Amino acid sequence: LSKNLGLNGSQICCEYLYAANAFFPSGEQAFFNMMNKYCMAKQPLIHRISGLNHLKKLYFIYGKNSFIDYQAGMKAQEILDKTKTLVHLIPQTEHIPQIQASEKFNDLVQEIL
């Protein structure tokens, strides 16, 4: 699709982020509403995360100041005792560290890879 549109990676990312957040209700808003303490997933992933114990490594990357609670990643780290599970918190960022701290995020991803 990107070849047909003649877009490069950064343009595709920008257009995706715009489309995901510009229209009401946005995906961000829906996710934020689902994270409300009064809402719960029908089948929370944390109850099924042990099914990933066959993986060699699993990484969680959070913005330190995100509305998403990084404690879920910490709990997954406890559950996945056979998997090298690492939780990374990028300081001074919120929900989108890949944009708010792109250099730190990219360095971390390259280190992981």
| Contact present, 68 and 89 (Cβ < 8 Å) | no
DSSP H helical segments within 60-101, as ranges? 71-79, 97-100
Query: Which region among 27-41, 49-63, 67-81 has the lowest average model confidence (pLDDT)?
Result: 27-41
| Average pLDDT value for residue range 90-110 | 91
Query: Which whole number is the average pLDDT over 13-34?
Result: 68
Report CA-CA distances (Å) from 91 to 62, 67, 96, 97.
Answer: 9, 14, 12, 9
